[in-house]
Structures are given as C-alpha cells and as structure tokens.
Chain A
Amino acid sequence: EAGVAQSPRYKIIEKRQSVAFWCNPISGHATLYWYQQILGQGPKLLIQFQNNGVVDDSQLPKDRFSAERLKGVDSTLKIQPAKLEDSAVYLCASSLSDGGYEQYFGPGTRLTVT
C-alpha cells in the first residue's frame, strides 16, 4: 500500500514569514496526526484529527499554527508568522482509527527558520 505522503520535504524561510505543509494519509485511515520533532527529541503531537474533526490540539500554538482537514482526507498545517524556534521536522502520521492502532509516519518536512 502507498505510504503517508508529505510535501515539501525541505523548506527554508525567514522568521515572520509564513509556510504551509501538506499531508496525504494512507487511504482509508480515519485518524491523522501532525507532530513536531525538534532535533534530538521525540515527536511531539501538535494536532490529531478523526476524519475531519479535531480530537486534540492542546499542544498546538494556536496564535501562529493552524491546521485543517476539510474533507477528512488530506491535511495542511500552516505557520504564520514563523519563529526561529519553529525549526524542526514536521511529521504527519495516520492510523486506521484511534485506540492503539499503529501509526504510520510520513517522511516529514524539515523546516529551517533563519
């Protein structure tokens, strides 16, 4: 089966600019996750969708980050305006459903904010 797709793979922007990431989950996977992975750390959940509804966005910095999954399939994550500390790899993952099912990760987008 095709895996989780993400684009772009790399992005370099200056602080205060905006950026958007795209994710297409594995077909049929109802749950989609966005994680932020700072160098040397484990992934940190930013937001979790179940179909097109938000399940958890408690760690999403809502003053600058937004995400949507309008049709319950692909998703976009936006940062506006970016800060230096946003430099990280943004990983998208999907799973069949919630409740202990394996999460499959995409290749990630490496963001560098200068």
Chain B
Amino acid sequence: GENVEQHPSTLSVQEGDSAVIKCTYSDSASNYFPWYKQELGKRPQLIIDIRSNVGEKKDQRIAVTLNKTAKHFSLHITETQPEDSAVYFCAAKGNTDKLIFGTGTRLQVFP
C-alpha cells in the first residue's frame, strides 16, 4: 500500500545551523507534498508544500526539494531559531487522493 517514510525521527541543532528532514514515498502517482509543523499540544499547521511539476520551492528560511525519479522530498530550514522547535510531518497525496503522513521528526533547536 501507500507509504511515506521520514527520517530522522529526532534532530537536534544549534541555533543558526541548518536542519534537513527527508521523506520517501512509495506511490509513484503522488503529486502533492505538504509539510506540517506541530507544536506540543497544538494542531498541525502547513508550512510549505510542493507539487510534482516543481523541483524546488522556497519561502524565506524554509525550502522543499522534490526528486520524482527517486521518489523523495526534503525540508530544509536555514538559520534555525528556538521557535522552530516542533514536530515536523511530511505527507504525500497520490492516486487515491488520500494524504499519507510520515511518522514525524522532532526538531530541537538549542540556543
């Protein structure tokens, strides 16, 4: 069935460093890839998304890259700040129009 794998499960960085989270998907028909940030006890919130006709998208300190051939996509956060600390989820929407989420990455940014 459809599957999204996400790595790493935890990531600790120093403030100002970059953070990279990677996801792979199984459904080659997937065409929409959002990233959600979830702070403790709060709802997931969309931070960036990319569609399959684009290879890269950037929004200030956040960027997402997509490699359709390899079926993987990555989230890049530059100049990390303590408020970036949260759990990040990738997701993929494929043929069934269902969003399949990854297992999450807990990012900790130390001041």
| A-B interaction | yes
Contact of A54 with B by CB under 8 A: no
**Is the beta-carbon distance between A100 and B93 smaller than 8 angstroms?**
yes
Q: How far is the CA of A76 from the CA of B42 in the complex (A)?
A: 21
Give complex CA distance A33, B99 in Å: 10
A107-B42 contact in complex given A43-B89, A100-B93, A102-B34, C-beta closer than 8 Å: yes
The answer for the CA separation of A99 and B49 in the assembled complex, in Å, is 13
Q: Closest chain A residue to B103 by CB distance?
A: A42
**B36: which A residues are within 8 A, CB to CB?**
105
B98 at the interface (CB under 8 A from A): yes
Q: Which of B4-60 contact A (CB under 8 A)?
A: 4, 6, 31-32, 34, 36, 42-46, 49, 51
Report whether A91 and B43 are in contact in the complex, using a CB–CB cutoff of 8 Å: yes
**How many residues on the B side are at the interface (Cβ–Cβ under 8 A)?**
25
Smallest CB separation, B97 vs chain A (Å): 5
CB contact list, B67-111 vs A, under 8 A: 89, 91, 93, 96-104
A43 pairs with B101, CB closer than 8 A: yes
Residue of A with least CB distance to B31: A100
For residue B4, which residue of chain A has the nearest CB?
A: A42
State whether B45 touches A105 (Cβ < 8 A): yes
Distance in Å: Cβ of A9 to nearest Cβ of chain B = 10
A103 within 8 A of B: yes
Nearest CB of chain A from residue B87's CB, rounded to whole Å: 9
Bound Cα distance A15, B99 (Å): 30
Contact A56 B46 (CB under 8 A): no
Q: Report which residue of B45, B89, B98, B104 has the largest number of chain A beta carbons within 10 angstroms of its beta carbon.
A: B98
Inside 8 A of B51's CB, which chain A residues have their CB?
Answer: 100
Interface residues of A (CB under 8 A from B): 33, 40-45, 48, 55-56, 91, 98-100, 102-108
Q: Which residues of B contact A (CB under 8 A)?
A: 4, 6, 31-32, 34, 36, 42-46, 49, 51, 89, 91, 93, 96-104
